[in-house]
Chain A
Amino acid sequence: DIDDVGHKYHLELVLEDVLDKDSTVNCTAEVLYHLGNKNSAPSVQFTLEEELKNTDEADNIFYNRIKSLEKELVAENIPDSHGNVSPEMEPVRLLAWVASGYVIWQNSTENTKFQLAQIKHVKQVKRSDEYLEFDYTILLHEMVSQEIIPWQMTVLWHPQHGVQVTQDSRQPKHASE
């Protein structure tokens, strides 16, 4: 508790590679939830105790595959109702997961717990530069309210320049659902 400022949490974490459970990296972080102003994201500082694995090879394979598509990628319901994700869509899902982390961070308070529930729709947007751009509509599941919240996000990615969410907005839910 920091008077007039907010609540600060000191965390010791172990990061686990989603694709390789035996690969872990220790991490410490400090998260500050600001008092009062619900419109500002919590401040986060972190230190990795080791280097993250190099992912250049897989990144480049995915990058080249998308770059060489004749038509822009379009897909929906990833995973599908039965939890299936085709191998070709797995990197698309992982990218959404990373990008949704940013959206979640920007919208988190001490009383929320968000997870990416599903990609409803994704379409690639053609670009003249070297970046890949994807327009995602995702569903976020908020654990405390149990709400499923549709969210649009525009994601830029390049193997050497990383992920950027350039645009995101909460979408209205359909009353009939």
Chain B
Amino acid sequence: HQVLRIVPTNDEELQKVQELQDLEELQLDFWLAPRGLGYPVDIRVPFPSLQPLKAHLEANGISYSIMIEDVQALVDHERMEMLRSRRRMPLTTSTFEYTAYHSLDEARKHKIWGILGIYAFMDLLVTENPNLVSKLEIGRSTENRPIYVLKFSKGGTNRPAIWIDTGIHSREWVTQASGVWFAKQIVLDHENDEDLASILDKMDIFLEIVTNPDGFAFTQTQNRMWRKTRSKHSGSICVGVDPNRNWDAGFGGSGASGNPCSETYHGPYANSEPEVKAIVDFVKSHGNIKAFVSIHSYSQLLLYPYGYTSTPVPDQKELHQISEKAVAALSSLYGTNYKYGSIITTIYQASGGTIDWTYNQGIKYSFTFELRDTGRYGFLLPAKQIVPTAQETWVALKVIMLHTLDHLY
């Protein structure tokens, strides 16, 4: 097989090339599909179609170049290289593909190095940075998956801490992907970025990337749109509890559903979900968490408590100011527009929510993000938006963390 490259320079050529896509009998494989004038079109051509296609192109005056003379030879060579390099090139977090969505425990599949599962990524990060990063198991999910939190610390004992969680709603894939990126970014920047260095001099950062591992696994294998946990409760055929309605803050009130089949089912009682209980136990026993950020998608919002009641929180003014600053910083990167405010006034009434509980525990700087986008792709945000989303969110997170550092209580 050969790979031919054609660069259409006028509309007629473009049209002719586009028409090639419909000639099924040629079995052409477009590595780069026609996009427009001046954009290269790369076509893998099986041997039997080579002569007819070249004749067709020449007859129509369409010039082409041969990019790859022999695809099989290239594949064979690459396979050999991989086998060789597997021994001398270890898997590292530098070869991890941040621009792709990953599952929990992908084995080394496909021919691309660095497709790691998120669990493997975490272990590697710890191995590569033992003086900064450690992995804690804070509990087990309904289906007995370990619930891991990464701790970033430069020392001390029980320092005031910042908590960040992603993936509590499993279908919100850009959040877990961003969590992975944050973890790597902390490691990359912890010495050379002044802001981050000053934060880590006095505080620890806890990052829970896959807050709902059962749901996440389910979105990979069965239903991409799954949101809740995977618990089964008394006699319903429906599965799962909304982990963001299961906290002990206005639990069971308006803004959650008592129907087990609903996407906002609050569960039989507060903290019924092990994924929620694990965090509750951790927060209570740590006792020194000063900022708590729970990350969701989509809608492009930065929210603070309350969701369960329209009574404003006592620290409303300060939280609003922080939000304003964080959102401005976020927008400055790529122009992404965010709205901000309390949950109940900005999005909808929601009871039993995470940050309502954390705020009532005394964690003043409690925030929720809803990341990109605003509905064009929704939960199915294209992978190429992962890194820009993570980058702009990180900038906003640093505003929140810095404010916390400067206003420790």
Is B223 an interface position by the 8 A CB rule? yes
* Cβ distance A123 to chain B, nearest Cβ, rounded Å: 18
Is A83 an interface position by the 8 A CB rule? yes
Interface size on A, residues (CB 8 A): 30
CB distance A87 to B35 under 8 Å? yes
When C-beta atoms are compared, the residue in chain B nearest to A87 turns out to be: B33
* Cβ distance B389 to chain A, nearest Cβ, rounded Å: 12
Set of chain A residues within 8 Å of B272, measured between Cβ atoms: none
Which of the listed residues B34, B261, B378 has the most CB atoms from chain A within 10 Å of its own CB? B378
When C-beta atoms are compared, the residue in chain B nearest to A177 turns out to be: B223
Q: Mark B347-382, 1 if CB is under 8 A from A, else 0.
A: 010000000000000000000000000011111111
CB distance A141 to B379 under 8 Å? yes
Set of chain A residues within 8 Å of B35, measured between Cβ atoms: 87
CB distance B237 to A117 under 8 Å? no
Set of chain B residues within 8 Å of A116, measured between Cβ atoms: 375, 378
- Contact among A79, A86, A115 for B382, CB-based, below 8 A: A79
CB distance B237 to A175 under 8 Å? yes
Interface size on B, residues (CB 8 A): 37
Is A69 an interface position by the 8 A CB rule? yes
CB distance B263 to A115 under 8 Å? no
Chain A positions 134-177 with a Cβ under 8 Å from a chain B Cβ: 139, 141, 143-148, 175-177
Which of the listed residues B264, B378, B380 has the most CB atoms from chain A within 10 Å of its own CB? B380
* Cβ distance B123 to chain A, nearest Cβ, rounded Å: 24
Cα–Cα, bound, A70→B19 (Å): 13
- Contact among B101, B238, B262, B378 for A141, CB-based, below 8 A: B378
Set of chain B residues within 8 Å of A143, measured between Cβ atoms: 299, 348
When C-beta atoms are compared, the residue in chain A nearest to B376 turns out to be: A18
Is B21 an interface position by the 8 A CB rule? yes
* Cβ distance A118 to chain B, nearest Cβ, rounded Å: 6
Chain A positions 45-82 with a Cβ under 8 Å from a chain B Cβ: 61, 65, 68-70, 79-82
CB distance A117 to B225 under 8 Å? yes
* Cβ distance B37 to chain A, nearest Cβ, rounded Å: 13
> How many A-B residue pairs lie within 8 Å, measured between CB atoms?
74
Set of chain B residues within 8 Å of A80, measured between Cβ atoms: 380
When C-beta atoms are compared, the residue in chain B nearest to A79 turns out to be: B380
Is B224 an interface position by the 8 A CB rule? yes
Is B383 an interface position by the 8 A CB rule? yes
CB distance A145 to B262 under 8 Å? yes
Set of chain B residues within 8 Å of A68, measured between Cβ atoms: 22
CB distance A88 to B263 under 8 Å? no
Known A88-B33, A145-B264, A177-B223; contact A65-B18, beta-carbon cutoff 8 A = yes
Cα–Cα, bound, A83→B377 (Å): 7
When C-beta atoms are compared, the residue in chain B nearest to A142 turns out to be: B263
* Cβ distance B31 to chain A, nearest Cβ, rounded Å: 13
Cα–Cα, bound, A105→B320 (Å): 34
Cα–Cα, bound, A100→B356 (Å): 35
Set of chain A residues within 8 Å of B190, measured between Cβ atoms: none
CB distance B263 to A145 under 8 Å? yes
Cα–Cα, bound, A11→B72 (Å): 60
Q: Mark A23-63, 1 if CB is under 8 A from B, else 0.
A: 00000000000000000000000000000000000000100
Q: Mark A8-28, 1 if CB is under 8 A from B, else 0.
A: 000000000010000000000
Is B44 an interface position by the 8 A CB rule? no
Is B285 an interface position by the 8 A CB rule? no
* Cβ distance B212 to chain A, nearest Cβ, rounded Å: 14
When C-beta atoms are compared, the residue in chain B nearest to A115 turns out to be: B375
Known A79-B382, A115-B375, A117-B378; contact A69-B22, beta-carbon cutoff 8 A = yes
CB distance B380 to A117 under 8 Å? yes
Is A128 an interface position by the 8 A CB rule? no
Set of chain A residues within 8 Å of B382, measured between Cβ atoms: 79, 82-84
When C-beta atoms are compared, the residue in chain A nearest to B224 turns out to be: A81
Residues in B lying within 8 Å of A, measured CB to CB: 18, 21-22, 24, 33-35, 100-101, 173, 219, 222-227, 237-238, 242, 257, 261-264, 299, 348, 375-383, 385
7 tightest Cβ-Cβ pairs between the two chains A and B: A83-B382, A115-B375, A146-B263, A83-B380, A148-B225, A79-B380, A81-B224
Query: Given A82-B100, A139-B225, A175-B238, list of 12 further CB < 8 A pairs?
Result: A18-B376, A65-B18, A79-B382, A81-B101, A83-B377, A84-B383, A86-B33, A87-B34, A88-B33, A146-B227, A146-B263, A175-B261
